[in-house]
Homo-oligomer: A and B are copies of this chain.
Amino acid sequence: MRTSEHVSAVDVAGSEMALAGAAVGAAKIVVSGAGIDERLLAPLHGLGCQVVSIGRGETPTAQALRDELTDAVAYLHGGEEIVSEEVLELAGGLRVIAFLGIGYETFIDVAAARRRGIVVTNTPDRTPDAVAEFTVGQIINASRRIPRHLGTVYPHWSGAEELPDELASKKIGIVGLGQIGARIAGILRLGFHCRVSYYNRTRKEGLEMTLGVRFRQLAELAEWSDVLVVMVGGNAETAGLIDRRVLARVRPGSILVNTARASIVDPEALRDALAGGRLAMAVFDGYYQDSSVAKDLLNDFGDRMYVTGHIASHTKQSMERMVRQAVDSVVNLLSGRPDPNVVIR
């Protein structure tokens, strides 16, 4: 799942020297993304840097980003913009990209950053509540079809639509029993009394005991589950993890809830599962960036898809936690100190 390396002082010796060499005092720190409390950026001002916030209203273009980064020493990436090789080309002074969140690989050309000696950090230490609560909310929405009833003030139900099952009667399969997956499992087991099984690269025997969840291999889990919840980090290893082989095992009328990266679910396999009725509903938070198949899906099966724009972690509490971590990373690295959240260097 997520690659996290603890980088010791010795490890970053090279980066430290490079950072110490930059004229930090005169330099610019670029901050992107909406909803960042300015007060949390105070430590950056404390470095004597100019702090420039960009892309509040909308995602900056590649050109705007290039222009802003030419004289930047650090970049707190809190938006949805893509940092390509082209964007980094003129950013000769850039030493740190502090990514707000964990899925940096989706937004940052990691190889390009590495080639330029740019250190990338992320914010792994957020509590899992924001995403777990959102995911459980969407499980209820999808299984009870609440959104389609909103605004229908007076009863009109004709019985033509089949009644939904109670969540308590459902079998929930969780793909990825990391921090968030385990929190989802806890809510569903201890709160809702669902049966829960999971798949994870490595078994979690401790959680099996404390939560009362059972390990199953991925394809077997897909077959067992009424609701299949995807909660693994998005990276090269997990891309397409939920593929044709997995979705072929899903039983008719099942629900897929993917609040991790869209790319973890193969869009063509998804199309076939929706078209064939094996999947009754599909939930995504954050969608495929450039897939014609995925666009067709929304046209063809829009009423059976609940898609939101990557908002599962958007809470005051998780935002503040992430911003604090990202700011700490920038301060650490520009001050020549090691930082625990370095993922690329």
Which residues of chain A have a CB within 8 Å of any CB of chain B? 33-36, 56-59, 80, 129-130, 133-134, 136-138, 140-141, 144, 146-147, 149-160, 162-169, 186-188, 190-192, 286-287, 298, 302, 306-311, 314-319
Docked Cα-Cα span, A298 to B153, in Å, equals 9
Contact, CB under 8 Å: B146 / A137: yes
**Which residues of chain B come closer than 8 Å to A309, judged between CB atoms?**
149, 152-157
How many copies make up the complex? 2
A154 to chain B, nearest CB (A): 5
7 smallest beta-carbon distances between A and B, as pairs: A191-B191, A34-B159, A137-B140, A35-B159, A187-B191, A155-B309, A149-B308
Contact, CB under 8 Å: A317 / B165: yes
Docked Cα-Cα span, A56 to B287, in Å, equals 39
Contact, CB under 8 Å: B129 / A314: no
Q: Which residue of B has the minimal Cβ distance to A164?
A: B315
Contact, CB under 8 Å: B140 / A136: yes
**Which residues of chain B come closer than 8 Å to A156, judged between CB atoms?**
58, 309
A-B contact pairs, 23 of them (CB 8 A): A35-B163, A59-B155, A133-B168, A134-B140, A136-B140, A136-B191, A137-B141, A141-B141, A141-B146, A147-B150, A149-B308, A149-B309, A150-B307, A154-B309, A155-B286, A155-B311, A157-B314, A164-B316, A165-B315, A165-B317, A166-B318, A188-B191, A191-B192
Docked Cα-Cα span, A167 to B315, in Å, equals 9
Docked Cα-Cα span, A169 to B190, in Å, equals 18
Instruction: Name the contact of A317 in the complex, choosing from B137, B157, B166 (C-beta under 8 A).
Output: B166
Instruction: Name the contact of A80 in the complex, choosing from B141, B150, B155 (C-beta under 8 A).
Output: B155
Docked Cα-Cα span, A144 to B312, in Å, equals 9
Docked Cα-Cα span, A306 to B129, in Å, equals 23
Contact, CB under 8 Å: A157 / B35: yes
Q: Which residue of B has the minimal Cβ distance to A165?
A: B316
**Which residues of chain B come closer than 8 Å to A133, judged between CB atoms?**
140, 144, 166-168, 192
